[in-house]
């Protein structure tokens, strides 16, 4: 649009309405004064009122153009384009009429914010801001950008909702890649903006959070373009520090930031198919946010753990074992037949590309391993101060993690690894382990809890007592002293009633508690008996396990066969209970379960009617497993126990080796979400090399 020498700005309609009201009111007023009408007084009043109403249109016109540069005071609506005839006369008249006001705009433009838009008159093109955007993205204009940011900072009170496009351009500025002076000036501008215009708070938060993961770069190979994360950015630690400085400043100036932050954190969370590097960086930064915004820590932990559970259930134990076994066999075959591979191919092999850290062959397991390592490092850093456990901080974190456990972990069936964050936390202090067991015990015996959650609590309780190496025998015996009497009371209430028969749907929590007791005794009977065999046997005999095994509810029929057989062998050795008569009877009466499948009916035996799993089965992830291994009780095969039922053949090269006597018995997921392996190179820096999220974050003054 060509600039008109004398336009009316963007509110020409208001201008002409004001003129019409003035002319009409003046005519009516003159008629009332000089005309000989009997209602002359009415005309005088009406004319005066109409002239007064014209002030409204004058105000609309003036305020609508108060921030419009003089160069844009033209006919935007396109009504006065012609310069000939009546239109030309009207245009020249309006030009003279508005020249005084336009001169006022030019004189007062600097004090009303026109100077706050640097280079606006010389850099505008077609009414847009393309040249400004180009200058913003250039890497060679740091001094100019600092000058512009300083001027924008002065006029932030005028950058309201009408200037969203300008704010969008400013938030797209790659300020994190510039020198420190630009970063400090940008942070100062950001602080002024959110404190003066909270309407832009969400946009500013979204900009900061979007930098919590490495930026994507476009790579061109041949005629194909694809994008990937910029993993080779050595400035990531510095970039992350600046992001957290910005977020802390926003939180300081807008105390209600936490209300808007969590939905943005969830929205910006990378998709699970992103690379391990992207997920690692984002989780690292989320946990770092929880350090200086403690009100969000529980919600952030819930968000992170729920995303990790999505990965966990998508990587069944059987698939991880199979892929690791195949990879191990490939390595053995390659080492035995050197003529098949040259040295260059061996150096480029994925198995040898990460000498600093063992990687998982399963792509989903590798991502989960990376995220678990970050989470466990965060837990350790929060709970430890100068190498020792801080009781108060540990208690606060325990409450948050238990809340997340109840909400998202406990209801999740067949997760393999995520629940180990509670296992690791409880290893710091015996009091934490006892509190966790007490929490599970309350869930198990709570009549108002759903049966499925009570069964899960029993499974966690038994698996924790069996596998926690840091748990002393006194604590194990104290838990058994709670579980076994509860089982006897349950038998007393059911053994003579109408429901005194084997039915998982009626007595699910009871069977889960029985299996927890059997499983615990399988792992812990040696510890109970060592030192003083006579005293240990007296304790086990006092549990009256025979009554539990012989009751009408018949728990041996429901428990996993591997647990039943091992428990029977151990109790026969010490002459506590003779279970084989019941086991043989159950085998004779074991009814097949008919399952409908596609293409017809198939008959199979349900060997796991409880549908239980032991949540602390052997940990398969390699990197984070280094933290679990020292506190984990592996399975030791009893040398003098004879098991009548032949053991299942264990696949050679299995990840568990001889660690788990339940191998092949516990249920595994039937379906897996397909994942695309991401790029994750060994020589690149990771948040582990940067350090775990710090407890105290130094705020730099601006």
Among 169-183, 195-209, 276-290, whose mean pLDDT is lowest? 169-183
Q: Per-residue pLDDT for 316 more than 50?
A: yes
Residues contacting 305, CB < 8 A, separation 6+: 375, 404, 408, 409, 418, 421
Which pLDDT value is given to residue 457?
96
DSSP string, 453-479: HHHHHHHHHHHHHHHBTTS-HHHHHHH
* pLDDT of the residue at 135: 47
Nearest residue to 281 via CA among 696, 681, 697, 688: 688
Check residue 359 and give its pLDDT.
86
Looking at residue 128, the DSSP 8-state letter turns out to be B
Residue 640 has pLDDT above 80, yes or no: no
- Separation of alpha carbons 433 and 425, rounded Å: 8
List 523's β-bridge partners, or say none: none
For residue 223, give the DSSP letter.
Answer: T
Name every residue whose Cβ is closer than 8 Å to that of residue 640 and which is 6 or more positions away in sequence: 573
Question: Among the listed ranges 298-302, 390-394, 493-497, 623-627, which one has the minimum average pLDDT value?
Answer: 493-497
- Alpha-carbon Rg for the chain, nearest whole angstrom, is 38
> What pLDDT sits at residue 502?
78
Instruction: Tell me the Ramachandran region of residue 685: left when phi exceeds 0, alpha when psi lies from -120 to 50, beta otherwise.
Output: beta
% of the chain surpassing 70 pLDDT? 69
pLDDT of residue 354: 44
Maximum mean pLDDT: which of 301-305, 359-363, 606-610, 692-696 = 301-305
Q: List residues bridging with 218 in a β-sheet.
A: 227
Element (H, E) at 218: strand 216-221
What is the tens place of the pLDDT at every residue in 459-500?
999 999 999 999 999 999 999 999 999 999 999 988 776 777
Q: What is the distance, to the nearest Å, from the Cα of residue 650 to the centroid of all Cα atoms in its chain?
A: 37
Residue 643 pLDDT class (50, 70, 90 cuts): low
Asked if residue 170 lies in contact with residue 116, where contact means CB atoms within 8 angstroms, the answer is: no
C-alpha–C-alpha distance, residues 534 and 552, integer Å: 31
Going by C-alpha positions, the residue among 117, 210, 228 that lies closest to residue 172 is 210
pLDDT tens for each residue of 41-74: 888 888 888 888 888 878 877 776 655 554 444 4
Residue 632 has φ and ψ, to the nearest 5°, of -110, 135
- Provide the whole-model pTM: 0.72
More confident call, 357 vs 150: 150
From the list 510, 644, 502, the residue with the least C-alpha distance to 567 is 644
Using DSSP's 3-state secondary structure scheme, residue 593 falls into: strand
What is the greatest pairwise CA distance in the chain?
130
Counting beta carbons within 10 angstroms of the beta carbon of residue 346, is it exposed (0 to 12), middle (13 to 18) or buried (19 or more)? middle
Residue with tokens 């600092």: 146
Identify the DSSP state of 694.
Answer: P
The set of residues, in sequence order, having a beta carbon less than 8 Å from that of 652 and lying 6+ positions away, is: 325
Whether residue 241 has pLDDT greater than 70: yes
Instruction: Tell me the two tokens of residue 92.
Output: 């020249």
Alpha carbons 520 and 540: distance in angstroms, whole number:
12
Average pLDDT over residues 600-626: 75
pLDDT of residue 590: 65
Give, as one character, the DSSP assignment of residue 408.
I
Confidence at residue 356, expressed as pLDDT on a 0 to 100 scale:
47
* Sign, Cα dihedral of 200, 203, 206, 210: negative
Structure tokens at 687: 């948040």
In this prediction, residue 544 carries a pLDDT of 94
Residue 199 near residue 160, CB atoms below 8 Å: yes
Summarize pLDDT for 166-194 with one digit per residue, the tens: 899 899 888 887 889 999 999 999 999 99
pLDDT of residue 268: 94
Q: What is the pLDDT of residue 129?
A: 43
Beta-bridge partners for 384: 389
By DSSP bridging, strand 600-604 and strand 216-221 are unpaired
Percent of the chain exceeding pLDDT 90 equals 45
Contact call for residues 218 and 185 (beta carbons, < 8 A) = no
Round the average pLDDT of the chain to a whole number and report it. 78
The mean-pLDDT minimum among 108-112, 213-217, 264-268, 494-498 falls in 108-112
Dist. CA 202–CA 260, nearest whole Å: 7
Q: Taken in order 317, 318, 323, 329, is the CA torsion positive or negative?
A: positive
Of 57, 78, 62, 69, whose CA–CA distance to 2 is shortest? 78
Q: Which of 43-47, 62-66, 216-220, 258-262 has the lowest mean pLDDT?
A: 216-220
């Amino acid at each position: 649009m060509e600039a008109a020498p004398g336009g009316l700005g963007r509110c020409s309609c208001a201008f002409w309405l004001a003129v019409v009201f003035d002319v009409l009111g003046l005519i009516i007023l003159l008629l009332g004064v000089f005309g000989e009408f009997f209602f002359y007084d009415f005309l005088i009043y009406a004319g005066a009122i109409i002239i007064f109403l014209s002030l409204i249109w004058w105000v609309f016109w003036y305020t609508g153009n108060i921030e419009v540069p003089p160069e844009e005071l033209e006919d935007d609506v396109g009504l006065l384009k012609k310069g000939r005839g009546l239109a030309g006369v009207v245009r020249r008249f309006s030009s003279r009429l508005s020249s005084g006001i336009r001169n006022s705009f030019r004189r007062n433009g600097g004090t009303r914010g026109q100077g706050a838009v640097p280079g606006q008159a010389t850099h505008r093109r077609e009414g847009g801001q393309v040249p400004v955007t180009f200058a913003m993205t250039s890497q060679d204009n740091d001094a100019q950008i600092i000058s512009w940011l300083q001027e924008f900072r002065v006029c932030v009170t005028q950058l309201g909702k009408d200037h969203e496009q300008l704010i969008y351009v400013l938030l797209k500025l790659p300020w994190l890649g510039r020198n420190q002076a630009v970063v400090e000036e940008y942070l100062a501008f950001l602080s002024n903006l959110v404190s003066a215009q909270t309407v832009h708070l969400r946009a500013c938060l979204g900009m900061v959070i979007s930098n919590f993961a490495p930026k994507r770069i476009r790579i061109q190979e041949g005629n194909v373009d694809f994008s990937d994360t910029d993993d080779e950015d050595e400035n990531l630690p510095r970039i992350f520090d600046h992001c957290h400085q910005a977020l802390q400043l926003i939180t300081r100036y807008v105390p209600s930031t936490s209300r808007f932050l969590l939905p943005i954190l969830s929205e910006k969370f990378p998709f699970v198919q992103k690379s391990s590097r992207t997920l690692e960086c984002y989780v690292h930064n989320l946990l770092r946010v929880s350090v200086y915004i403690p009100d969000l820590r529980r919600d952030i932990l819930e968000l992170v753990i729920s995303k990790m559970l999505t990965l966990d259930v998508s990587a069944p134990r059987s698939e991880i074992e199979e892929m690791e076994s195949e990879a191990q066999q490939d390595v053995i075959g390659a080492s035995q037949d050197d003529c098949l591979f040259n040295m260059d191919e061996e150096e480029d092999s994925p198995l040898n590309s990460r000498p600093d850290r063992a990687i998982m062959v399963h792509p989903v397991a590798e991502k989960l391993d990376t995220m678990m390592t970050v989470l466990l490092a965060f837990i350790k850093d929060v709970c430890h101060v100068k190498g020792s456990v801080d009781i108060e901080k540990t208690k606060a974190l325990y409450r948050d993690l238990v809340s997340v456990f109840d909400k998202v972990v406990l209801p999740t069936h067949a997760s393999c690894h995520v629940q180990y964050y509670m296992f690791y936390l409880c290893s710091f202090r015996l009091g934490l382990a006892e509190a966790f067991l007490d929490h599970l015990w309350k869930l198990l015996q709570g009549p108002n809890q759903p049966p499925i959650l009570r069964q899960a609590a029993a499974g966690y309780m038994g698996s924790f007592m069996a596998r926690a190496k840091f748990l002393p025998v006194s604590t194990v015996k104290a838990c058994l002293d709670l579980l076994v009497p509860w089982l006897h009371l349950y038998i007393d209430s059911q053994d003579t009633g109408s429901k005194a028969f084997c039915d998982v749907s009626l007595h699910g929590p009871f069977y889960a508690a029985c299996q927890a007791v059997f499983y615990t005794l399988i792992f812990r009977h040696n510890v109970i008996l060592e030192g003083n065999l006579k005293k240990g046997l007296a304790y086990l005999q006092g549990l009256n396990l025979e009554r539990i095994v012989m009751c009408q509810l018949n728990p041996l029929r429901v428990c996993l066969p591997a647990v039943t057989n091992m428990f029977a062998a151990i109790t026969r050795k010490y002459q506590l209970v003779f279970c084989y008569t019941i086991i043989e009877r159950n085998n004779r009466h074991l009814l097949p379960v008919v399952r409908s499948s596609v293409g017809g009916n198939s008959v199979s035996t349900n060997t796991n009617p409880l549908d239980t799993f032991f949540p602390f089965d052997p940990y398969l992830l390699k990197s984070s497993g280094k933290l679990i291994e020292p506190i984990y009780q592996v399975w030791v095969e009893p040398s003098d126990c004879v098991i009548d039922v032949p053991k299942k053949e264990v696949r050679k090269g299995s990840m568990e080796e001889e660690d788990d006597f339940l191998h092949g018995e516990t249920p595994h997921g039937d379906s897996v979400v397909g994942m695309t392996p991401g790029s994750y190179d060994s020589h690149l820096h990771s948040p582990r090399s940067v350090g775990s999220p710090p407890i105290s974050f130094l705020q730099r003054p601006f």
